[in-house]
């Protein structure tokens, strides 16, 4: 049994907030301890005794990839906003800290997960304060449009994020320049100003980037005139951000073929919004159910945003039941089957789903292929699986389907998984958020004990994952 489940002690108040929880230097950013500590997880290592099916019910709250952007959107309002179903994860803490250093008052509301964001006192923040609060998140880049509207200037420090490729911000900078921002590179970050205000523009993205689409939306809603965005990302989290902006008073039209039109308005109000559920967390628990021969009811999960995942889950041999209040994911018995997956932008198979599912594919009878077309380096987590007994080869070629933009370059972005293999316990180190959760699944499904280090990083996107593991019957101990 678990002896310590210290993320159950996560605080919802102000205690853990502020610069003492966030590293003050670029070197310190992104360490597991800092991520976990920000949400009350003091352990960095977990020893898991695998082979026990995960069974039970857990709940998912609002999507990390929507909630953090919704918090930034509150900067655009003249009145306070209420965001509901906010998970207690370290990425939320980072955005909260960044909003607070810019003068936004952030308080908890009546219900657990309610966050009230009052932007009335928005002010410029000192460079050092922004740098100290930025953590390893990429969200600061999305502050630029709203801050340029409100204050005429913005600063972003060097950005972090998961180590899953270069993750450049060139699309973001190009977009901001098109709106009229002056972008100045400085030794420790980028300063922006808008001496003549921001004006609507025509943008065509070279790739349907989620972040760059959000950049356009958050900037165009208050820019003067009309903005036309071609090549937009249309992920459900983006549609929910559009819902929020419309509630605030924005005029946004979503046309066919990835075209979004925005008519700038002079004033936006605060919003009241319940965040879209976290489909990435839901898919991760689904994959955990399948890999451990388990049965997990994910409260809050919905079918329509997971359609593509559910098809693949069924093809592999998993079963699910759709309920009004969630989805039950389970292993129905029988052998798992191999699949060919290509990750893609919505409505394709999400890149964030592939790592957790790969663990189940090591148990499938036959050869599976995963072609990663969104990030060039998202197979860093595989080395540990091979050490645990999986047969996985990584290739530079585009395997399994269409050539992608990484094909003629030197990126190991296709995986061939041959199964079934039995995983055995090992000492492994979490490389990034989704890879980290997949390491947990691997350890939970393996024979014997595994020690997984650097687990704090998982707190970036999985609320109370230690408590949830305990609820599902996992057998583990935590170490500091």
Candidates 404, 392, 401, 403; CA nearest to 368 is 392
- Of the residues 21, 22, 65, 421, which one makes contact with ligand EPU according to CB under 6 A: 65
- For ligand EPU, the closer of residues 397 and 479 by Cβ is 397
By rule CB under 6 A, what string of x and - marks binding of each residue 217-246 to ligand EPU? ----------------x-x-----------
By rule CB under 6 A, what string of x and - marks binding of each residue 11-40 to ligand EPU? ------------------------------
Cα–Cα distance for residue pair 223/266, rounded to 1 Å: 8
CB of 162 to ligand EPU, least distance (A): 5
Q: What dihedral angle (degrees, nearest 10) is formed by the CA atoms of 458, 96, 253, 302?
A: 40
Tell me the number of residues near ligand EPU by CB under 6 A.
28
Q: Which residues contact 170 (CB under 8 A, 6 or more apart)?
A: none
- For ligand EPU, the closer of residues 364 and 442 by Cβ is 442
Burial 73-110 (b: 16+ CB within 10 A, else e): bbbbbeebbbbbbbbbbbbbbbbbbbbbbbbbebeeee
454 in contact with ligand EPU (CB under 6 A):
no
CB of 237 to ligand EPU, least distance (A): 7
- Of the residues 181, 212, 260, 404, which one makes contact with ligand EPU according to CB under 6 A: 212
C-alpha of 36 from chain center:
16
172 in contact with ligand EPU (CB under 6 A):
yes
- Of the residues 202, 207, 403, 409, which one makes contact with ligand EPU according to CB under 6 A: 207
- For ligand EPU, the closer of residues 109 and 380 by Cβ is 380
Q: How many CB atoms lie within 10 A of CB 473?
A: 15
285 in contact with ligand EPU (CB under 6 A):
no
DSSP helix/strand/coil, 277: strand
Q: Which stretch binds ligand EPU (CB under 6 A): 93-101, 146-154, 210-218, 319-327?
A: 210-218
- For ligand EPU, the closer of residues 345 and 449 by Cβ is 345
CB closest to ligand EPU, residue no: 211
Query: Does 162 qualify as catalytic in the annotation?
Result: yes
- For ligand EPU, the closer of residues 210 and 262 by Cβ is 210
Strands 153-157 and 189-193: antiparallel
Taking each helix axis as running N to C, give the angle between helix 351-361 and helix 433-445, from 0 to 180 degrees, rounded to the nearest 10.
20
User: Are the C-beta atoms of residues 231 and 257 closer than 8 Å to each other?
Assistant: no
434 in contact with ligand EPU (CB under 6 A):
yes
What's the helix, strand, coil split of the chain in %, to 5? 35, 25, 40
- For ligand EPU, the closer of residues 207 and 303 by Cβ is 207
- Of the residues 39, 117, 130, 162, which one makes contact with ligand EPU according to CB under 6 A: 162
375 in contact with ligand EPU (CB under 6 A):
yes
Candidates 103, 197, 167; CA nearest to 433 is 167
- For ligand EPU, the closer of residues 284 and 421 by Cβ is 284
Q: How many CB atoms lie within 10 A of CB 285?
A: 26
- For ligand EPU, the closer of residues 166 and 257 by Cβ is 166
Q: Which stretch binds ligand EPU (CB under 6 A): 126-134, 169-177, 331-339, 438-446?
A: 169-177
Cα–Cα distance for residue pair 392/415, rounded to 1 Å: 7
Cα–Cα distance for residue pair 240/244, rounded to 1 Å: 6
Cα–Cα distance for residue pair 134/140, rounded to 1 Å: 7
Quickly tell me which residue has 């999400």 as its tokens: 350
* Cβ contacts of 303-308, under 8 Å, gap ≥ 24: 303/327, 305/236, 305/276, 305/277, 305/279, 306/279, 306/282, 307/347, 308/347, 308/348, 308/349, 308/350
CB of 228 to ligand EPU, least distance (A): 19
Judged on CB neighbours under 10 Å (0-12, 13-18, 19+), 248 is buried
- Of the residues 138, 302, 328, 470, which one makes contact with ligand EPU according to CB under 6 A: 138
461 in contact with ligand EPU (CB under 6 A):
yes
134 in contact with ligand EPU (CB under 6 A):
no
Q: What amino acid positions are annotated as catalytic residues?
A: 162
Binding site for ligand EPU (CB under 6 A): 64-65, 138, 162, 165-172, 207, 209-212, 233, 235, 280, 350-352, 374-375, 433-434, 461
């Amino acid at each position: 049994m678990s002896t310590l489940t210290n993320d159950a002690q996560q605080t919802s108040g102000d205690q853990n907030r502020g610069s003492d929880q966030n590293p003050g230097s670029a070197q310190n950013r992104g360490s597991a301890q800092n991520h976990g500590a920000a949400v009350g997880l003091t352990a960095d290592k977990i020893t898991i005794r695998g082979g026990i099916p995960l069974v039970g019910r857990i709940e998912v709250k609002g999507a990390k990839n929507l909630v953090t952007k919704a918090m930034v959107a509150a900067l655009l309002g003249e009145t306070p906003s209420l965001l509901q179903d906010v998970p207690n994860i370290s990425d939320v803490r980072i955005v909260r800290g960044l909003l607070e250093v810019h003068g936004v008052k952030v308080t908890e509301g009546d219900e657990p997960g309610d966050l009230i964001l009052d932007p009335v006192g928005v002010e410029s923040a000192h460079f050092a304060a922004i740098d100290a609060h930025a953590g390893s998140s990429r969200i600061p880049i999305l502050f630029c449009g709203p801050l340029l509207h409100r204050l005429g200037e913005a600063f972003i420090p060097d950005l972090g994020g998961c180590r899953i490729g270069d993750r450049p911000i060139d699309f973001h900078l190009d977009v901001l320049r098109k709106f009229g921002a002056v972008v100045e590179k400085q030794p420790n970050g980028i300063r922006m100003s808008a001496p003549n205000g921001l004006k609507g523009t025509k943008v065509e993205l070279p790739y349907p980037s989620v972040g760059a689409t959000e950049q356009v939306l958050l900037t165009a809603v208050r820019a003067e005139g009309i903005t036309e965005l071609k090549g937009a990302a249309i992920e459900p989290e983006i549609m929910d951000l559009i819902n929020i902006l419309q509630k605030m008073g924005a005029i946004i039209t979503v046309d066919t073929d990835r075209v979004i039109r925005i008519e700038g308005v002079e004033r936006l109000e605060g919003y009241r919004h319940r965040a879209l559920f976290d489909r990435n967390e839901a898919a991760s628990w689904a994959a955990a159910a399948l890999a451990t021969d388990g049965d997990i009811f994910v409260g809050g999960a919905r079918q329509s945003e997971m359609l593509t995942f559910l098809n693949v889950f069924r093809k592999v041999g998993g079963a699910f039941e759709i309920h009004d209040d969630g989805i039950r994911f389970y292993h129905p018995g029988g052998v798992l089957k191999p699949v060919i997956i290509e990750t893609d932008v919505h409505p394709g198979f999400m890149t964030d789903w592939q790592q957790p599912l790969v663990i189940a594919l090591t148990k499938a009878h036959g050869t599976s292929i995963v072609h990663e077309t969104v990030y060039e380096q998202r197979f860093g987590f595989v080395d540990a699986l091979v050490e645990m007994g999986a047969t996985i080869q990584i290739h530079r070629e585009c395997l399994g389907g269409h050539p992608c933009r990484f094909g003629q370059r030197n990126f190991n972005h296709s995986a061939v998984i041959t199964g079934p293999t039995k995983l055995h316990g090992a000492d492994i180190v979490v490389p990034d958020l989704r890879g980290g959760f997949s390491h947990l699944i691997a350890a939970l499904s393996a024979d014997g004990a595994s020690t997984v280090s650097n687990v704090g990083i998982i707190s970036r996107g999985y609320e109370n994952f230690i408590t949830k593991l305990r609820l599902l019957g996992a057998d583990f101990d935590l170490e500091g």
